[in-house]
Amino acid sequence: MGTEFASQAIALCNSQDLVNSGAAVPFDVVYCGQTCYAFAVRYADQVQAYLNRCTHVPMEMDYQPNQFFDLTGHWLICATHGAMYSPTTGACRSGPCRGGLVKIAVSETDGVVHWHTAHNLKPVDF
């Protein structure tokens, strides 16, 4: 193993598992050495993935499992105190959030969604 980091694409779900503004698909990652929950959603046809961690208090955002969208379907919301984040960038819009959600790179090819590792973002070893 060299010192250069090569990003790896890890299969996450089928494209049809994610519908616009619908339920998220959860997955686990190791972020900066810590196992964290993450989730993928589809918004305006694009798949987006973030750590499932509110920036206000580092806790999970979904009160109902895998429900991150607010009633309008245009914002990701933290169920605990109502912080709102853009589904496309993770930037916060209102509420007690401090900074945006941690974004995870994803790709979609041939009906399969993959997430991409990064230097601080790794798969969980089983």
Q: Which residues contact 86 (CB under 8 A, 6 or more apart)?
A: 75, 76, 92, 93, 100
Q: Does residue 59 touch ligand FES according to CB under 6 A?
A: yes
Q: Does residue 38 touch ligand FES according to CB under 6 A?
A: no
107: left (phi over 0), alpha (psi -120 to 50) or beta: beta
# binding residues, ligand FES (CB under 6 A): 12
Span near ligand FES by CB under 6 A; candidates 14-22, 26-34, 49-57, 108-116: 49-57
Q: How does DSSP classify residue 7?
A: -
From the CB of residue 40, how many other CB atoms can be counted at a distance below 10 Å?
24
Measure the CA dihedral 82/88/91/96, to 10°.
Answer: 0
Q: Provide the minimum distance between the beta carbon of 32 and ligand FES in the complex, in angstroms, as a whole number.
A: 19
Span near ligand FES by CB under 6 A; candidates 4-12, 40-48, 53-61, 64-72: 53-61
Q: Does residue 91 touch ligand FES according to CB under 6 A?
A: no
Q: Does residue 77 touch ligand FES according to CB under 6 A?
A: no
